[in-house]
Structure 1
Amino acid sequence: MIPRTIFSTEHDLYRQTARRFIADEILPHYEQWEEEGIVPRHVWHAAGKIGLLCPSVPEEYDGAGGNFLHNTVVIEEMARVGATAPTFYLQSDIIAPYLVHFGTEEQKQRWLPPMLSGDVVTAVGMTEPSGGSDLQNLRTTARRDGDDFVVNGQKVFITNGHSADLLVLACRTNDAPGAKGVSLLLVETDTGGFHRGRKLGKIGCKAQDTAELFFSDLRVPAANLLGEEGRGFYHLMTELAQERLVQAVRAVSSAEAALGWTIEYCRDRSMFDRTLADFQNTQFVLAQLHSDVLAQRVLVDRCIELHVEGGLDAVDAARVKMTTTQLQGRVMDECLQLFGGWGYMTEYPIARAYVDARMTRIGGGSIEVMKHIIGRSLFREARS
């Protein structure tokens, strides 16, 4: 195996903490959470107590002042056991950076400490029923009325939608076309005019609560504007590189875990007076998958390194997100096949990992959007 060199001793110790927490607080209860479709709040509090939430938030807001490598450790350890919930990555790696980079001092002081402790769970409201990945054509509106914005509209596929206390909402605050009219608002979910719809039934990631959200004359103080009015789309794009890298980290870590489960199963499974591991077909399949995953691991680690240094751009993030999530899907499919009928049974982790993996080719921008971004960049580079 090619050794990983991006982590320090501090990160290794942090990994031990995360691994113990997941073994003690998540795995024993995960099946129940999948049945209920939501994770209890006390789990967020427990994670906050030992520093697993928002570890890269600066110290002046009660954070540990770490870097994305600390976030990576938590993402990898969750993926290693096939847990897609609690969605710590959403709070730590997607929403907290919006506040750190674009929030006012008052917004940071008010919201970041309770996000770190787990007292506040957050969600981000981007996707709409008619728009999907097309964030430039949002229909949810926020019209200025005195010291407030009045919000009307609908969002869908919102992770943490039923448990969130605070929502980063993308909406249209003026009639400018396309991206120019989009702004971000911090919406407190106990406000009148905010309505949670049904829990959406999903084929995978069942422990994540995913909801429709509705806004009917919801009044949001103008002081809750996050960043500059009319530049919300650009704020979103600034953070999308990290969001897509998160998906890549999850994808390659999940693929590594699936390979480990499959190798162990094939070593022990008897067939025709031999083990599955003795068959050349098994060895060839796993050799190919192992080599492909190792190559993606090296790419992901390099992208993490670039991101920590501030050098990962949106196109490279799209490239790594596309290739890792596509590989994840292939690994899950071929590994499940080696389990035979048992691979189709939910008592085996490969079954859950198989259906959970399908989401990563959609979340953070679909594969088709990634190809569009990459393709445009190729022709821009050719012209220059």
Structure 2
Amino acid sequence: MTFGFIETDEQKELRASVSALGQRFNYKDYVLPKARRGEPLTELWTEAGKLGFLGVNISEEYGGGGAGIYELALVQEEMAAHGAGLLLVVVSPAICGTIIGKYGTADQKQEWLTGLADGSKIMVFGITEADAGSNSHQITTTARRDGDDWILTGNKIYISGVDQADAVLVVARTEDSKTGKLKPALFIVPTSADGMTKTAMDMDIIEPDHQFMLFLDQVRLPATALVGEADAALMQLFAGLNPERILGAAMAIGMGRYALDAAVKFANERTVWKTTIGAHQGIAHPLAQVKIELELARLMMQKAAALYDSGDDFGAAEAANMAKYAAAEASIKALDQAIQTHGGAGLTAEYGLASMLGAARIARVAPVSREMILNFVSQHSLGLARSY
């Protein structure tokens, strides 16, 4: 386990191996053409699974690498540094794999973790609702008992990759028989379940993964679909949200590295006056600032992952939120500056930087918005009064 941010030989070897895969499935030759056609990165996902990269955080008992979120974030960062970050890594092994690994039954672990580890199964995550947004306490998707079964009714929005998934880990709410209050609970819902329908959303960004609205109309599930306890899911839910933020930060940092590398390469080759444009401080200094800010965000991401893997849940939550904030800002700045360095060429399809800017911009909004992170830091880190 890494605490001082000096990586072990095994971690360095993992970086090199993932980087080699990223070079094979790079942004310009593989990812961007697939994204323009609206096709998922199936070949990359399959190969990453075969090489063991998708399951590095899953127990060896179920075919995983037995490592931690640090290593999974490492995988995501290195893939994204070649423009080949995998959105489904954030939800399938990071969120769902973590939650099932910690709270699932022996049968649930056996059924799902092996497949999540090698990529042969994909599970996505369903929490967001149109009328709830960042307020998860306002979720209206409900689960009620019917004998030994559960009946789910409600809707979800912005659910990534449902068309590629075998199941959705749905956050619903159950009624406490003593108080009548609704409490969050987690259910594994097969994508083939009767009563669940998906509708693709018309997004205005170039991405290989699609977003969906889900409608749950009296979806009947067996008792075995419940993950953990019916009234303990808030704790279980946060077990997956910290890894989500760490992996989101890793993807943003990787995209920032990709943009910076592209800008530096262009600045070292492009000559307009007597020397390359990279010799001019108007070009060099903004790129140097981007480098510094990416490295700072990366350090906070590594800290968050190390804290999470050590079992420090509160420390990890604070660091994960800060890492996600810093990584989003640094990534967007890197893409914007890379486009500016290229001048008009930065807006052409040949370089593909403008198309990536939309993807980088997502990091300010999801998986948690910049404003909600500032709320968290204000309240929990600074001790200021809660504003919401």
- Provide the TM-score with structure 1 as the length reference: 0.91
Q: In the alignment, which residue of structure 1 is the partner of 2:16?
A: 16
Q: Partner letter of residue 18 of structure 1?
A: V
The unaligned stretches of length 5 or more in structure 2 are: none
Of 226-235 and 173-182, more deviation after overlay is shown by 173-182
In structure 2, the residue matched to 1:187 is 189
The one of 371, 375, 384 aligned to 1:372: 375
Matched-pair contact (CA < 8 Å) for 1:57–1:100: yes
Partner SS for 1:132: coil
The answer for the alignment partner of 2:232 in structure 1 is 231
Give the 5 Å matches for 1:55-204: 55-85=56-86, 87-174=88-175, 181-204=183-206
Q: Tell me, yes or no, if structure 1 residue 290 matches structure 2 residue 298.
A: no
Q: Is 1:84–1:208's contact at 8 Å kept on the other side of the alignment?
A: no
Contact 1:149 1:220 in 2 (8 A): yes
Question: Secondary structure of 1:111's match?
Answer: helix
Rate the CA distance shift 1:165–1:137 in 2: closer, same or farther, 3 A: same
> Are 1:318 and 2:321 matched, yes or no?
yes
What's the counterpart of residue 308 of structure 2?
Answer: 307
| 2:120 aligned counterpart, secondary structure | coil
Are residues 21 and 86 of structure 1, via their aligned partners in 2, closer, same or farther at CA, if it must alter by over 3 Å? Answer: farther
CA distance in 1, matches of 2:217, 2:289: 53
The answer as to whether partners of 2:158 and 2:213 remain within 8 angstroms in 1 is: yes
CA contact (8 A) 1:172 1:181 kept: yes
Distance 2:147 2:202 in 1: 36
Cross-structure match for 1:339? 342
Using the TM superposition, give the Cα deviation of residue 361 of structure 1 relative to its aligned residue in structure 2, in angstroms. 1.0
Aligned length: 379
Q: Which moved more, 1:125-134 or 1:300-309?
A: 300-309
SS of aligned partner of 1:195: strand
Q: CA deviation at 1:294?
A: 2.7
Per-residue CA deviation, residues 226-262 of structure 1 (Å, 9 max, x unaligned), is 1111222321123322221222222223222222211
> CA shift at 1:96, angstroms?
0.3
Residue 379 of structure 1 deviates from its aligned partner by 4.8
Cα 1:292–1:53 change in 2 (3 A) is: closer
Q: Deviations over 1:65-108 (max 9, x none)?
A: 12223212211112101224362232221110010011011110
Contact 1:181 1:230 in 2 (8 A): yes
* Partner SS for 2:165: coil
Using a 3 Å threshold, how does the CA distance of structure 1 residues 207 and 226 change in structure 2: closer, same or farther?
Answer: same
Cα pair 1:121 1:163 within 8 Å, conserved: yes
RMSD between superposed Cα atoms in Å: 2.5
- Residues 58 and 33 of structure 1: is their aligned pair in 2 closer, same or farther, counting only changes over 3 Å? same
Of 119-128 and 225-234, the range deviating more from structure 2: 225-234
Helix, strand or coil at the partner of 1:142: strand
CA 1:79–1:186 in structure 2 vs 1: closer, same or farther (change >3 Å)?
same
**Mapped partners of 1:230, 1:85: distance in 2:** 32
- Counterpart of 2:14, as a letter, is Y
Give the TM-score, by structure 2 length. 0.90
Partner of 1:218, secondary structure, is strand
Work out whether residues 262 and 338 of structure 1, in 8 Å CA contact, stay in contact via their aligned partners in 2. Answer: yes
Equivalent pair of 2:90/2:248 in contact (CA under 8 Å): no
**Is the partner of 1:196 in helix, strand or coil?**
strand
- 3-state SS of 1:270 partner: coil
Aligned-partner Cα distance in 1 for 2:303–2:42: 35
Amino acid at match of 1:203: I
Structure 1 counterpart of 2:6, which letter? I
Q: How many Å apart are 1:150 and its aligned residue?
A: 1.1
